[in-house]
């Protein structure tokens, strides 16, 4: 296979294309499995410029190719350097510009429809309708465009290249019909590629209108179309970007290391698989949730109902303003004691009182504890992810579900790592850094707190959920003690199969019920 990839590709010259068509009749294309086909030859250095030119000729963006091609080649190079070396330039060019321009993306047919030949028109319109139109209507593409638009200008180009690898690379990887390229050739041919881009016509009608703007050879156009069709065969009709892809793009500036990106990607993939709380379950949980009394000293922090009556008891900040008229009154006759002092001593001063609703706190607490995190960094062979990753995902899902059930200001989540050894503290600090990235907005709004504890006695009693590989002790008043580490996790004698999203969702629902009702 290595010899075949490095050899001069017969399919990348005009004569080679004709020979290949003769050697492989149409019935051979009906093979169901690509593994039955020989691997496509590598795109050699001398073939790169005509291949790029053919790809640009087929692009569906209605801009100026000489301006957009250099940018697209940089994205292509970024994809190839990541190992996604079989992505064709035309798809990179059009999807990359769609990610940058969003709804402002211009279709080539809006400008060049009249310049296309009768043979060319149906092929190009089919590509716009079947591919570009679907991408434009894809909500995930629009969300990716918004995420990239929110980045700094110098980070947007890298983000587009990364987005192209996320959307196309994983789907095209392993295809035996796509010719792989070499990013080193793109680097070494930089000046020639720029010169080629400058020679491109401003619009389709300019192909062949002047010297240097000749259209690509028909064999190269046929090759480029075949490469596109092979790529599109591997793209399904679903969303191009998953939830974890979109989160990654929005936070790409905060992910300096590949290990950090991969770790958080795995956590978010599990969170997405678990899914949000069922609306019916959320309604039942909201109706059965306990009201939590607030300390008197905190009552003025919850001004939900305003003043509703007068009383002779209360705080001085709630004193009726007209009572201050008694300050200094009668002081001369009583030898320094005024009427205000007398009314205070006899309990006759008037105070405004609040209604009772502020004394019932609607902000519920969930305190999630991960005990001995260093011992949980292993993966059971039957589980989809590492034990600690599954725990992190469950906690993120619990926090998101709490917001869905009680609103953005209705709950607080504190994530604690119980670290009794040096290894535990090191693991806890790493996990804390990862969770601080993914929960940055929640932490800023004071809906989430991250902390470390070293003793069980320091654990909070309210809304306590502990994830541990050890059985529950009798001296810890936890609402739920989750015994982890095996295929099935246990809570109060009930087991939950963690191999499937259904089991993970069932465990999440149980924890919500135990904590809040």
Helix (H) or strand (E) holding 449: strand 448-453
d(CA 87, CA 213): 25
Taking the C-alpha atoms of residue 215 and residue 206, their distance in angstroms, rounded to an integer, is: 9
Over residues 63-67, mean pLDDT? 92
Dist CA 479 CA 512 (whole Å): 10
Residue 82 reports pLDDT greater than 60: yes
DSSP per-residue string spanning 273-315: HH-PPPHHHHHHHHHHPPPEE--GGGGGG--SS-EEEEES---
> Is the model more confident about 153 or about 214?
153
Short-list 361, 367, 374, 381, CA closest to 498: 381
Mind listing the pLDDT tens digit for each residue in 315-372? 888 888 888 888 888 777 767 788 888 888 888 898 887 654 444 445 688 999 999 9
Exposure string of 219-228, with b = 16+ CB inside 10 Å and e = fewer, is bbbbbbbbbb
What confidence tier does 162 reach under pLDDT thresholds 50, 70, 90? very high
Confidence of residue 307 (pLDDT cuts 50, 70, 90): low
- Give the tens place of pLDDT for each residue, 478-494: 999 999 989 999 999 89
CA dist 293 and 89 (Å) reads 63
């Amino acid at each position: 296979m290595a010899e075949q990839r490095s050899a001069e590709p017969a399919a990348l010259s005009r004569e080679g294309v004709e020979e290949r068509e003769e050697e492989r009749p149409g019935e051979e294309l009906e093979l169901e499995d690509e593994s039955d086909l020989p691997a496509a030859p590598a795109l050699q250095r001398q073939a790169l410029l005509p291949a790029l030119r053919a790809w640009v000729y087929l692009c569906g963006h209605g801009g100026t190719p000489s301006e957009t091609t250099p940018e697209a080649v940089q994205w292509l190079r970024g994809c190839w350097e990541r190992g996604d070396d079989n992505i064709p330039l035309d798809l990179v060019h059009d999807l990359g510009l769609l990610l940058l321009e969003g709804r402002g993306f211009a279709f080539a047919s809006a400008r060049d429809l009249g310049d296309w030949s009768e043979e060319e028109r149906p092929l190009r319109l089919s590509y716009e309708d079947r591919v570009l139109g679907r991408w434009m209507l894809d909500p995930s593409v629009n969300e990716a465009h918004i995420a990239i638009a929110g980045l700094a200008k110098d980070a947007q180009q890298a983000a587009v290249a990364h987005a192209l690898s996320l959307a196309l690379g994983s789907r095209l990887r392993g295809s035996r019909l796509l010719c792989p390229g070499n990013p080193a050739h793109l680097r070494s041919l930089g000046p020639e590629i720029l010169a080629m881009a400058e020679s491109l016509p401003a619009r389709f009608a300019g192909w062949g209108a002047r010297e240097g703007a000749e259209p690509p050879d028909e064999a190269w156009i046929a090759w480029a179309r075949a490469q596109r069709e092979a790529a599109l065969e591997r793209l399904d009709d679903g969303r191009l970007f998953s939830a974890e892809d979109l989160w990654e793009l929005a936070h790409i500036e905060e992910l300096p290391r590949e290990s950090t990106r991969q770790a958080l990607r795995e956590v978010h993939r599990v969170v997405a698989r678990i899914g949000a709380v069922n609306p019916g379950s959320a309604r039942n949980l909201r109706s059965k949730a306990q009201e939590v009394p607030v300390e008197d000293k905190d009552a003025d922090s919850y001004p939900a109902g305003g003043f509703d009556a007068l009383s002779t008891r209360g705080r001085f900040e709630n004193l009726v303003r007209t009572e201050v008229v008694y300050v200094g009154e009668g002081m001369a006759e009583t030898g320094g004691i005024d009427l205000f002092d007398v009314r205070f001593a006899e309990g006759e001063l008037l105070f405004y009182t609040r209604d009772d609703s502020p004394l019932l706190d609607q902000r519920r607490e969930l305190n999630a504890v991960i005990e001995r995190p260093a011992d949980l960094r292993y993966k059971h062979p039957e589980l989809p992810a590492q034990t600690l990753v599954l725990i992190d995902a469950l906690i993120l899902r619990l926090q998101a579900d709490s917001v869905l059930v009680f609103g953005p200001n209705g709950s607080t989540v504190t994530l604690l790592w119980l670290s009794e050894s040096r290894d535990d503290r090191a693991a806890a600090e790493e996990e804390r850094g990862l969770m601080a990235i993914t929960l940055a907005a929640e932490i800023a709004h004071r809906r989430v707190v991250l902390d470390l504890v070293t003793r069980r006695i320091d654990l909070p009693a309210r809304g306590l959920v502990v994830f541990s590989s050890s059985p529950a002790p009798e001296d810890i008043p936890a609402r739920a003690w989750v015994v982890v580490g095996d295929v099935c996790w246990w809570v109060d004698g009930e087991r939950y199969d963690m191999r499937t999203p259904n089991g993970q969702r069932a465990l999440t629902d149980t924890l919500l019920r135990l904590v809040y009702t």
